[in-house]
Amino acid sequence: MIGRLNHIAIAVPDLAAASATYRDSLGARVSEPLDLPEHGVTTVFVELANTKIELL
């Protein structure tokens, strides 16, 4: 049984555009981009009232 999810990750084609959509349209708090070269991605975390989304 799953008790609680920490976050959901979503792969997007344009990280800057997706970040702007969440920030500007939904009023979400969006972190600064974080490069993770060992995984070959750059990520941002989007925080809404009770949801955390990782965009990569």
Give the start-to-end residue ranges of the domains of the chain. Answer: 8-55
pTM of the model: 0.85
Cβ neighbours of residue 25 under 8 Å, at least 6 residues apart? none
Q: Which two tokens stand for residue 29?
A: 């708090």
Q: Give the separation between CA 27 and CA 34, rounded to whole angstroms.
A: 21
Name the residue type at position 22: Y
pLDDT tens digit sequence for 1-56: 777 788 899 999 999 999 999 999 999 999 999 999 999 999 999 998 888 999 99
Give φ, ψ of 5 to 5 degrees: -95, 140
CATH number of 8-55: 3.10.180.10
